[in-house]
């Protein structure tokens, strides 16, 4: 049976109503067409803001030019984000001084800490500071939490600005845990200028740099550049790197159920 373009579009959008992510190869098999046809369909639907392309498939449309409000964004890709954060938490060792930037993946790291001691956490995320403080109260970690000074952004539960950068400039950090708005062509992006500057300063002052990025961030751009992906020590994602990203093979960790594949 041959399907028209309109019928293919209707099938694709109908699948997206019920599934978190649709895959090119699966849709191509269902419609008995070449994967290249479905990729072109995805491209056209993305141009119409009806879906968002991700590695190997598509998800419901995400407006990459304006960041979703924090409380809504934290529920997007939540399972994948928590898997990534669970693996990231294993990178924190006794005596570490770490930086944690604003993000709805990095915010989950503290939830998975168990029996780590003498850790200093530096963050511009109000939500992350609360969760790390809870880890202290529950005696899952010992150490201290430093919430950076700056101008608050209630929508993102964050602080940023000149004061934030000044405080960070005086700090030497073992590890930085960073979020992003997208990764494309070897560049790591963010939505917000002030927050991208804070993330870049954390990276600059850290020995080991860990990027937490779920698959919706792959092959996506937003307005502001944080860094080149080569500057990142490790990327933790719930899926394998794109096959063409061979330069980053040694940096890529796949989080699946909290375990590295």
Residue labelled with tokens 């700090």: 171
49 and 75 in a single domain? The answer is no
125 and 52 in a single domain? The answer is no
Domain termination site, one of 40, 60, 80:
60
Answer yes or no: is 194 within a domain: yes
Q: How far apart are CA 28 and CA 23, in angstroms?
A: 9
39 and 83 in a single domain? The answer is no
From 40-54, 121-135, 203-217, the region with the lowest mean pLDDT: 40-54
18 and 90 in a single domain? The answer is no
48 and 156 in a single domain? The answer is no
Model confidence band, residue 59 (pLDDT cutoffs 50, 70, 90): confident
84 and 150 in a single domain? The answer is yes
> Where in the sequence is the domain holding 139, given as residue range(s)?
70-260
Answer yes or no: is 36 within a domain: yes
217 and 155 in a single domain? The answer is yes
Answer yes or no: is 221 within a domain: yes
Predicted local distance difference test score (pLDDT) of residue 72? 53
98 and 204 in a single domain? The answer is yes
In the numeric block, which tokens belong to residue 145?
Answer: 């939490």
Find out whether 113 and 136 touch, Cβ atoms under 8 Å.
no
24 and 79 in a single domain? The answer is no
Average pLDDT value for residue range 98-106: 95
Predicted local distance difference test score (pLDDT) of residue 63? 58
Helix H, strand E, coil C: the string for the chain is: CCCCHHHHHHHHHHHHHHCCCEEHHHHHHHHCCCHHHHHHHHHHHHHCCCEEEECCEEEECCCCCCCCCHHHHCCCCHHHHHHHHHHHHCCCCCCCEEEECCCCCHHHHHHHCCCEEEEEEEECEHHHHHHHHHHHHCCCEEEEEEECCCEEECCCCEEECHHHHHHHHCCCEEEEEECCCEEECCEEEECCHHHHHHHHHHHHCEEEEEEECCHHHECCCCCEEEEEHHHCCEEEECCCCCCCCHHHHHHEEEEECCEEC
Nearest to residue 181, comparing CAs of 66, 261, 258? 66
For the cut 60, the answer to whether the pLDDT of residue 148 exceeds it is: yes
91 and 201 in a single domain? The answer is yes
Q: What is the mean pLDDT of the chain?
A: 89
Residue labelled with tokens 């954060």: 85
Number of domains the chain contains = 2
Answer yes or no: is 224 within a domain: yes
**In this structure, what CATH number is given to the domain that contains residue 37?**
1.10.10.10
Answer yes or no: is 51 within a domain: yes
For the cut 50, the answer to whether the pLDDT of residue 258 exceeds it is: no
**In this structure, what CATH number is given to the domain that contains residue 94?**
3.40.50.1360
94 and 180 in a single domain? The answer is yes
37 and 89 in a single domain? The answer is no
Answer yes or no: is 234 within a domain: yes
pTM higher than 0.75, yes or no? no
For the cut 50, the answer to whether the pLDDT of residue 156 exceeds it is: yes
In angstroms, how far apart are the furthest CA atoms of the chain?
66
Domain termination site, one of 22, 41, 60:
60
pLDDT in tens, 205-253: 999 999 999 998 999 888 799 999 999 999 999 999 999 999 999 999 9
């Amino acid at each position: 049976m041959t399907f028209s373009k309109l019928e293919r579009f209707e099938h694709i959008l109908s699948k997206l109503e019920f599934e978190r992510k649709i895959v090119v190869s699966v849709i191509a098999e269902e419609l008995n067409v070449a994967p290249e046809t479905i990729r072109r369909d995805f491209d056209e639907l993305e141009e119409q803001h009806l879906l968002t392309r991700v590695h190997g498939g598509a998800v419901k449309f995400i407006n990459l030019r304006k960041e979703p409000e924090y409380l809504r964004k934290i529920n997007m890709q939540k399972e994948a984000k928590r898997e990534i954060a669970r693996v990231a938490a294993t990178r924190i060792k006794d005596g570490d001084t770490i930086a944690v930037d604003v993000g709805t993946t990095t915010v989950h790291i503290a939830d998975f800490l168990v029996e780590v001691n003498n850790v200093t956490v530096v963050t511009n995320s109000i939500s992350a500071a609360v969760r790390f403080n809870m880890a202290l109260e529950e005696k899952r970690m010992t150490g201290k939490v430093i919430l950076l000074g700056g101008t608050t952004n209630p929508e993102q539960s964050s602080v940023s600005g000149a004061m934030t950068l000044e405080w960070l400039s005086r700090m030497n950090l073992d590890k930085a845990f960073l979020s992003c708005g997208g990764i494309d062509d070897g560049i790591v992006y963010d939505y917000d200028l002030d927050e991208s500057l804070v993330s870049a300063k954390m990276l600059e002052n850290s020995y080991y740099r860990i990027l937490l990025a779920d698959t919706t961030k792959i092959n996506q751009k937003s307005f502001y550049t944080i860094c080149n992906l080569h500057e990142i020590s490790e990327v933790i994602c719930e899926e394998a790197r794109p096959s063409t990203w061979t330069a980053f093979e040694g940096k890529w960790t796949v989080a699946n159920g909290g375990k590295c594949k």
